[in-house]
Structure 1
Amino acid sequence: MTSTDTGTTARYLSKEGNLSQVPKEDKNEQSESQQKKDTEHEKERIEQQKMEEEETKKREATWKTMKYSFIGFGASFGLLGGYMIYQLGSPKVDENGQIIEDEFSSLPPVQQFTSRMWRELNYYQKMIQEPSRKKLLPDPLTHPYIQPPYTLILEMTDVLVHPDWTYQTGWRFKKRPGVDHFLEQVAPPLFEIVVFTADQGMTVFPILDALDPNGYIMYRLVRDATHFVDGHHVKDLSCLNRDLKKVIVVDWNPDSVKFHKSNTILVPRWKGNDDDLMLVDLAAFLRTIALADVDDVRETLEYYGQFDNPVEAFRENQRKLLEQIEERQRLEKDKPAVLTTRGSWSPSFLNKKMQ
């Protein structure tokens, strides 16, 4: 065997394992490849370690910022609390600067300040939750002025007007169809009209100025006149300074009138549709009550309150009543004709008998 054959044979491994010699060139290639892989792994490890260190630094910096923020907030609230305790808990003084004794004067100083503070906070909470005044309306008018016998309380939003928003105009209030006719029909001397709503006065007053140029609405009550209960602004009719037997409330929200349901006409909420005629029927309903001189409106309203739509129920009853009136008129027309026949017959019958 020549030397060339020996070199060629040594480049391969025998299947039986007799030849195991590997060329030096292949070993060098494998070594370089392994070194490259090790270098890449080392770089990845170093980069990963740097990222972890940076993330750790960020977390530490964030925690320090939060810690200092909490300390700052705590100090601010502490100072604010101390200021409130001092301002609200300090005893009152007279015009000469002398301390006025109260029910907490005999307590230890710290307890005095905290007790007075809680009393003041409860006062402000009560002021927010309850109506701004005990009498929401002035006393009824006396002679020679005319006081309407009934008081009509109207919700403004979604009863008289509907808020509408568009990209072109923004927020605008749309007037309900028939509102002019309605106000004219229920105006004094039949009803004392009062708008009572939970909206803010700065929103309500300009709208009512434009809605009622004739001045049919006598009084306007806004959010500060409501009673805040369970997250709702409730209209407390007991503060109206009016006889509740003569008070009618028109609203769509039962939570707004939950103290006096028997005084309420719950109407469907108007969504802004132009084919609505509810105010026309409502005006007829209210005029019927006023012209009938109902002594206690609550009895009538409780009856119609059992229907989902009281105004629609009234319209149906009105239709039936008109049918009965027409039937009665028809019978009345027939009745005189019968009497005329008898009248012409009776004298002849009597005259014949006398002969």
Structure 2
Amino acid sequence: SCLHPFQTSLSRPGPERGYRGAGGRGQPPPPPPEGEKEGERAEDKKENTAYAKKMVLRLAGLMGLGGAVSIVYVFGGDPGSCFTFLFSLSDPPVVQQLRRTFKYFKDYRQMIIEPTSPKLLPDPLKEPYYQPPYTLVLELTDVLLHPEWSLSTGWRFKKRPGIDYLFQQLMQYYEIVIFTAETGMTAYPLIDSIDPQGFVMYRLFRDATRYMEGHHVKDVSCLNRDGSKVIVVDCKREAFSLQPFNGLALKKWDGNSDDRTLYDLAHFLKAIAINKVDDVRSVLENYALEDNPIEAFKQRQAQLAQEEEQRLAELAQQKKQGLSLGSIASRFWRSKQQ
């Protein structure tokens, strides 16, 4: 007998009804292999990463462009400012704005690199005031003070033994100047704390240094003093690299309370002043290559003292021999007279 077309369509398996397996029941299509899944995930991740990079680059470009425009607008100066007259007024406004911006940043860079003034100190004192014959330039950090940090107290500065002795011994011979690479905001109260009696005549800070090759250099030629009478004491040779024979490089103080360096430094500098050295560079040149110039000075002093003692002993021996010969001659003369 013929089946109804509708029934025939129901009994014929189709894609929407699946396929019949061994059991005759409909089964879902087999899943794709695991390798294909991992590959699809890697491709999706790669596409997402590339899209994110493109968006970040576009956003960074827009921000950079906006920042550049803002800088030119803010630092370019007003059309009526003094910068306008440094350039041709026939230039387009955009070019003038760019040139004013360039001039602003050039001056700012120059302000950081160069000292604030070609004469950092006032003219030497005139009579009836007393001007010491020499100028002593001292660094603050790791020469006079040592910074220490702890979790309980934070930053503290330890005072080096011998600061008061150094100031008291040298005040009549040296014009004492503290010239530090620290900022004035940091260094000013520290100087007040170590010099309550006012031995320090002048204070110079980071803005007075010359910034060269990553170092704050103290230019002796800008001190408005005779270079043959200026001594710079620092723990970094780079600090006086422009005038290497004007400097004395001490070892960094590590905070040791038994340190005696400043006492020995006072004796060394006092010896220069008492001997009225015409050009301190002729003396400091002998210590330019020493790792510890103060220790080298002590050794040379001990050697000189030993040589002087030996010389005096030889003179005494010669004098004694002369006296003995004189006594023998006088006795011989007396015996001959008799």
User: In 2 relative to 1, CA 101–209 (structure 1 residues): closer, same or farther, beyond 3 Å?
Assistant: closer
Tell me the residue number matched to 2:178: 195
2:126 aligned with 1:136, yes or no? no
Q: What is the alpha-carbon distance in structure 2 between the residues aligned to residue 296 and residue 60 of structure 1? A: 70
2:56 aligned with 1:66, yes or no? yes
Tell me which moved more, 117-126 or 256-265. 117-126
Q: Displacement of 1:79 after TM fit? A: 3.3
Partner of residue 92 from structure 1, selected from 78, 81, 85: 81
Tell me the residue number matched to 2:111: 127
2:248 aligned with 1:265, yes or no? yes
SS at match of 2:263: helix
Q: Displacement of 1:274 after TM fit? A: 3.2
Deviation string, structure 1 residues 262-315 (Cα, Å, up to 9, x no partner): 111112122223343222222221111111111111111111113222211111
- The amino acid across from 1:114 in the alignment is L
Tell me the residue number matched to 2:88: 104
Tell me the residue number matched to 2:300: 317
User: In 2 relative to 1, CA 303–75 (structure 1 residues): closer, same or farther, beyond 3 Å?
Assistant: closer
Q: What is the alpha-carbon distance in structure 1 between the residues aligned to residue 40 and residue 32 of structure 2? A: 12
2:154 aligned with 1:170, yes or no? yes
* 8 Å contact from structure 1 (residues 85, 114) kept in 2: no
Q: Displacement of 1:178 after TM fit? A: 2.6
Q: What is the alpha-carbon distance in structure 2 between the residues aligned to residue 139 and residue 233 of structure 1? A: 24
Q: Displacement of 1:224 after TM fit? A: 0.5
2:196 aligned with 1:213, yes or no? yes
Q: Displacement of 1:27 after TM fit? A: 4.7
SS at match of 1:79: helix
* 8 Å contact from structure 1 (residues 146, 189) kept in 2: no
Q: What is the alpha-carbon distance in structure 2 between the residues aligned to residue 46 and residue 319 of structure 1? A: 87
SS at match of 1:195: strand
Tell me the residue number matched to 1:21: none
Q: What is the alpha-carbon distance in structure 2 between the residues aligned to residue 337 and residue 74 of structure 1? A: 92
Q: What is the alpha-carbon distance in structure 2 between the residues aligned to residue 53 and residue 192 of structure 1? A: 76
- The amino acid across from 2:207 in the alignment is D
User: In 2 relative to 1, CA 51–344 (structure 1 residues): closer, same or farther, beyond 3 Å?
Assistant: closer
Q: What is the alpha-carbon distance in structure 1 between the residues aligned to residue 57 and residue 304 of structure 2? A: 78
* 8 Å contact from structure 1 (residues 245, 298) kept in 2: yes
Tell me the residue number matched to 1:285: 268
Q: What is the alpha-carbon distance in structure 2 between the residues aligned to residue 100 and residue 60 of structure 1? A: 46
TM-score (norm 2): 0.80
Q: What is the alpha-carbon distance in structure 2 between the residues aligned to residue 36 and residue 78 of structure 1? A: 61
SS at match of 1:153: strand
- The amino acid across from 1:92 in the alignment is S
- The amino acid across from 2:63 in the alignment is F
Q: How does 1:1-355 map to 2 (within 5 A)?
A: 27-28=22-23, 35=27, 38=30, 41=31, 62=52, 66=56, 69-70=59-60, 72-84=62-74, 86-87=76-77, 90-92=79-81, 101-102=85-86, 104-105=88-89, 107=91, 109-186=93-170, 188-354=171-337
Deviation string, structure 1 residues 83-113 (Cα, Å, up to 9, x no partner): 146426x3437xxxxx985552354554444
Larger radius of gyration, structure 1 or 2? 1
* 8 Å contact from structure 2 (residues 72, 98) kept in 1: no
SS at match of 2:299: helix
SS at match of 1:301: helix
TM-score (norm 1): 0.76
- The amino acid across from 1:87 in the alignment is G
Residue-pair matches, total: 318
Tell me which moved more, 74-83 or 59-68. 59-68
CA RMSD between the two structures? 3.5
5+ unaligned residues in a row in structure 1: which ranges?
1-25, 94-98
* 8 Å contact from structure 1 (residues 104, 115) kept in 2: no
SS at match of 1:158: coil
* 8 Å contact from structure 2 (residues 148, 157) kept in 1: yes
Q: What is the alpha-carbon distance in structure 2 between the residues aligned to residue 279 and residue 330 of structure 1? A: 33
Q: What is the alpha-carbon distance in structure 2 between the residues aligned to residue 135 and residue 279 of structure 1? A: 29
SS at match of 2:307: helix
User: In 2 relative to 1, CA 298–63 (structure 1 residues): closer, same or farther, beyond 3 Å?
Assistant: closer
Q: Displacement of 1:182 after TM fit? A: 2.5
Q: What is the alpha-carbon distance in structure 2 between the residues aligned to residue 86 and residue 343 of structure 1? A: 96
Tell me which moved more, 306-315 or 41-50. 41-50
Tell me which moved more, 62-71 or 159-168. 62-71
- The amino acid across from 1:66 in the alignment is V
Q: Displacement of 1:317 after TM fit? A: 0.6
5+ unaligned residues in a row in structure 2: which ranges?
1-20
SS at match of 1:87: coil
- The amino acid across from 1:264 in the alignment is G
Identity across aligned pairs (percent)?
41
